Amino acid sequence: MTKKSKLVLGIETSCDETGVALYDTMEGLKGHKLYSQVKLHARYGGVVPELASRDHVKKLLPLVRDLLDETRTDINTIDSIAYTKGPGLSGALLVGATVANALGYSIKKPVIGVHHLEAHLLSPLLSNPNLNFPFIALLVSGGHTQLIQVKDIGQYRLLGDTRDDAAGEAFDKTAKLLGLPYPGGALLSKLAQDGDTTKYPLPKPMIKSGDLDFSFSGLKTAVAHLVQKLDIEQVMASKTLKADIAASFQDSVTEVLTEKCFCALRLEGATALVIAGGVGANTELRRKINERAKKINVATYYPPFEFCTDNGAMVALVGALKNSEAVYGANPFDIKPRWLLSG
């Protein structure tokens, strides 16, 4: 019997990116659109939840229309709609949930709420559909730094978590210390390419702690003390000084992340490693991970760079993988701003 393909519309509105995508269970990703609110929030130095929600309201339906037009898709041919149910900002999540359910009602199709972190974990499947389970995943972003054992779709076990700042958060806060504009994490990584990692050796917190947890707030504080010691005005006036500090900071973070990943692989006897989340786009982290993995024959997987940050494609993908769980006539206000991956 020939297996019939299913077409899933994915909607992502958990924070400050509005993303939509179409995923076919047989053909893969058909198209996606993404709008970033970075410029909107930059003037405030961080995400303003109310402004994020209002911008999702303005941008979401036009993005859906553009996606349908671009892919020449009749909305009535969509089989189900997936939306980010949580975790995330309450108002932002509500926009995606209500739009997804309203569309579901209008075309009489089921909807499914997707866990945001699960979408990130499985995002490498967008470019590696033959990725086999089980594997170890490092979920590393502005809000999360976690090591997770992924046994299968829906079967996750937390191995290690951050005790304070997530890695991406530490990148952004350190970038601010160096006078870089919001969001500064990516700019700091770019600046670090011109720096000397040995110029200002910084601590590598918990790298030998014997467990799989992380802590980056102390590293950020160490950078703050270094900037004060060197004289803030002098640092701000010197691209070389800032580049050396950025390189030293990035080296410390990526060393810790790399060491913890391979510690998890050893402890669990795993041979496959997935790196997901916004910091997963960091080229230095990828270099270190790949270099070490090659020596011990560990397979490494990453989502495409464009899908490291929040996007609709990963939501549509999970909706397709869990298509049988989609429900028609679900609660349109069903969101979970604080939703643990384990349930």
Question: Would you call 77 exposed, middle or buried from its count of C-beta atoms within 10 A (0-12, 13-18, 19+)?
Answer: exposed
Nearest to 82 by CA among 7, 9, 20, 153: 9
Q: Which residues pair with residue 32 across a beta bridge?
A: 21
Residue-wise pLDDT for 129-165, tens only, equals 889 999 999 999 888 899 999 999 999 999 999 999 9
Identify the CA nearest to 97 among candidates 277, 307, 337, 320: 337
Domain range 133-302, its CATH number among 3.30.420.40, 3.40.50.12280, 3.40.50.620, 3.40.50.300: 3.30.420.40
Q: Show the DSSP H helices in the chain as ranges.
A: 38-42, 49-70, 90-107, 116-122, 167-177, 185-192, 217-230, 232-237, 239-268, 283-295, 312-321
**CATH classification of 7-123+308-325, choosing from 3.10.105.10, 3.30.420.40, 3.40.50.720, 2.60.120.10?**
3.30.420.40
Residue count of the chain, please give it.
343
pLDDT score for 143 = 84
Provide the mean pLDDT of the chain. Answer: 94
pTM of the model: 0.94
Where in the chain do CATH 3.30.420.40 domains reside?
A: 7-123+308-325, 133-302
Three-class secondary structure of residue 222 per DSSP? helix
Exposure letters 199-233 (e unless 16+ CB within 10 A, then b)? ebebeebbeeeeebbbbbeebbebbeebbeeeeee
| Residue environment code for 168-184, b if the CB has 16+ CB neighbours within 10 A, otherwise e | bbbbbbbbbbbebebbb
For 321-336, what is each residue's pLDDT tens digit? Answer: 999 999 988 788 889 9
pLDDT at 316: 98
Assess whether pLDDT exceeds 50 at residue 104. Answer: yes
How far apart (Å, rounded) are the C-alpha atoms in residues 94 and 100?
Answer: 10
